[in-house]
Structure 1
Amino acid sequence: MIFAIAPALLSREFIKQYERTAQPRLLCMPLTHTLGDVTVIALSDGEGPFFLPRKKAFPQATDEHWRLADERYPGAVTPDGEWLLRFRCFAIRRDDDVILVDTGIGPANSPAANWAPVPGRLPDELAAAGIDPADVRTVVLTHLHTDHCGWAVVDTPYFPNAEYLLQRADADAVDELNPALRERLLAPLADAGQLRLVEGETKIRPGVTAVHTPGHTPGHQAVLIEYADKPTLITGDLLVHAVQIVAPDLAYTFEMDPGAARESRANLIAPGVVLASAHLPEPFTPIS
C-alpha cells in the first residue's frame, strides 16, 4: 500500500479535494505492452489524490526534485499541485496462461475502504481485457498492503483456480502490517489450499520471476519479465512516485526500512528496463 490511514483521518476536505479533481472514466480496452508472444496488460483499479501533502510523503525531496518530476511526469500532479496517484494491477498473458500481479483496492467493503479514494473496478477491467477470473492461474501479491490485495478474497478467493504467491516475510509480519488481513486474506486462501508462501527469488514461468525487494515491507516482491530484448519490471511499491525516478535515493515516509528499499531500487531500476508501475502516471515507463 502507499499509505495506511485510520477512517477518522479521512477529512471532509480530502473527500472534497477528490471530488474536485476526479474525472469520469470511460471503460476502454486496457493498455498493453508486448514482449514477443507475451502481453502485459495494465488494469486500472482507481485513481485519486493522496491524502498527505507530497512534501510530507517525501520529506527529503528538494524543490529541484519536484520541478524535474513535474516537468517529466505532469500526470502525477493534481490541479492544486499535490500528488495524483493511480492504482493498477497487471496481467501477464501468454496464450491461455494468465498471471495476475496484485489485486488492487477491492470492492466498497474491502480492507482498503477506510482510506482509498474510490472503490476498485478491477472486475470491469478484466472483462474489458477478455479475462475471466477463472482464467487466472497465478496471482502474485507483491506485498500485504490493502491497495494491492483488495480483490484477492471477496468472501471466498476471487480467482478460484489460481495459486496465490506471497513472500513468507510479509505473511510473518501480517500483524504489524495489517492484523485484519490474517482472517480476511491469509486464512481463506490457506483454507482453500491456494496460498503458496515463497522465500526469495521464485521462478513463476520461463522468463517470469518474482524477485524479493524488501524495504517497503519485509517481504515486498517485484515481478521481472525477461522476454524479447527489453526486461520489464512490475514494481509493486518498489517506487511509488515519479520523484523516485528523478532521485531513486529518496525515501518514502511509509517505507518500513528505507535503507533496504533504496538498495532494492538500486538493484533493479536501471537504463533499458521498462517499469510497469502501480502508481506512476503512465503504466509503462522506460528508464533511459
Structure 2
Amino acid sequence: MLKVCDVEVIPLCDAVGPMGPALRRPVEETFPGAAPELWERMRAEEPAAFGPSGEWILRFHCFLLRPPGGGLTLVDTGIGPAGSPAAAWAPVPGRLPAALAGAGVAPGDVGTVVLTHLHSDHASGAVVAGAPLFPNARHLVQERELAGLRREGGPVLDAVVRPLLDAGLVDAADGEARLAPDVRAVPTPGHTAGHQSVVLGDDRLLVAGDVVLHPVQLADPAVTYLYDDDPARAAATRADLLARLRARGGTIAAPHLPRPFVDV
C-alpha cells in the first residue's frame, strides 16, 4: 500500500504469467527498438520480468484508491473469470474478487471503476456470468475508447461493455475527469486512442494503465510495444509523463511491471 495526498493506493494482484501462444512473441520483438545491451541490463536488473526461456512475465495488477472521507475507486478490473474475453491469451481466471476481499472490500462497496482502456486484460473482470460485478459503481471510460470499440466490435464489446451499458453504469468522459480531491483521470493516448490514466496530486503518482508495460520502457521511453495502436504517440505520451513524474520525484503504478510501484 502507498499513501499519496492522503489517498491510500492498494495494489491488487489479479494474475501473474506470460502471454499465451496467441500473442506471445520473443520479448525483443514485442518491444522493438531496444538495443541488445539494454536487454542484457534489464535481465540483470529486473529478472522477475523474464521467464526461464527469456519470455516476458506479466503481472496483472488493479489498483484500489481509498480517499479520506470514503468513496472507493478501482482502476481496471483485470482478466476476469475462466470464460472471459481475456481467456484466449491471459492466465485466467483472475483473482481480483479474492484480492478485494483480502483488502476488506466487497464489490458493492466500490463507487467508481476507471477503465484505463477496453483491452480484455483491463476490462474483463467488470462482468461475471453476464452481470456487472460492481453494481453500485459508475464505470468511467473515455468516449473515444468507447466509440472505437463500437466500430471494431468483438468479445469485449459483447461480453463486457454491453452489459454495463444495459445496466446504465457507464460514464463516457471527453477528456479530464475529477474523481476526488487530488485525484483525476486524464487522457493518455497512444496504446489506444482513448487510453486514460489516473493522476494523484501534482504528478505525485501516476496509475498508468498501459502507458508503461515493461521495465525496458522506463529505461528508454522510446521503446515501443508491438500491440500499441499508435506506437509513436504512445512513446511521446510515455516520455512526457515520465519526465513530469521525474521532475517531481513521483511514482508510477503500472499493472504489468514486476513491482506495482516504481519511483521514477
Query: Which TM-score applies when normalising by structure 1?
Result: 0.84
User: SS of the residue aligned with 2:59?
Assistant: strand
Give runs of ≥4 in structure 1 deviating > 4 Å.
175-178
Corresponding letter in the other structure for 1:101: V
Q: Which residue of 2 aligns with 1:41?
A: 10
Q: 8 Å contact 1:144–1:177 — kept in the other structure?
A: no
Say which SS state the counterpart of residue 126 (structure 1) adopts: helix
The correspondence of residues 175-254 of structure 1 with structure 2, limited to 5 A, is 175=150, 179-226=154-201, 231-254=204-227
User: 1:249-282 CA deviation, whole Å, 9 max, x = no partner?
Assistant: 1111110101110111122113112011100010
Say yes or no: does 1:123 pair with 2:97: yes
Q: 1:102 to 1:219 in 2, by over 3 A?
A: same
In structure 1, runs of 5+ residues without a counterpart are: 1-31
Counterpart CA distance in 2 for 1:34 and 1:111 is: 33
Q: Which residue of 90, 100, 123 corresponds with 2:74?
A: 100
Question: 1:70 pairs with 31, 43, 51, which one?
Answer: 43
Given that residues 145 and 178 in structure 1 are in contact (C-alpha distance below 8 angstroms), is that contact kept between their aligned partners in structure 2? no
- Unmatched 5+ stretches in structure 2: none
Distance 1:40-1:212 versus aligned 2 partners, 3 A rule: same
Report if aligned partners of 1:145, 1:177 keep a CA contact under 8 Å in 2.
Answer: no
**The one of 234, 238, 241 aligned to 1:265:** 238
Conserved 8 A contact 2:12-2:99: yes
Letter in 1 for 2:55: E
SS of 2:124's partner is coil
Question: Which stretch shows the higher mean deviation, 154-163 or 71-80?
Answer: 71-80
State the Cα distance separating 1:82 from its structure 2 match. Answer: 2.1
Correspondence 1:21-36 to 2 at 5 A:
32-36=1-5
With normalisation by structure 2, the TM-score equals 0.92
Q: How far apart are the structure 2 equivalents of 1:268 and 1:175?
A: 28
**1:72: Cα distance to partner?**
2.6
Q: CA RMSD in A?
A: 1.5
- 3-state SS, counterpart of residue 149 of structure 1: helix
Matches of 1:178 and 1:66, distance apart in 2: 36
- How many residues align? The count is 254
SS state at 2:175 partner = coil
**Distance in 2 (alpha carbons) for counterparts of 1:245 and 1:181:** 29
**Higher mean C-alpha displacement, 68-77 vs 244-253:** 68-77
Deviation at 1:176, TM superposition (A): 5.8
Displacement of 1:118: 3.1
Counterpart secondary structure, 2:63:
strand
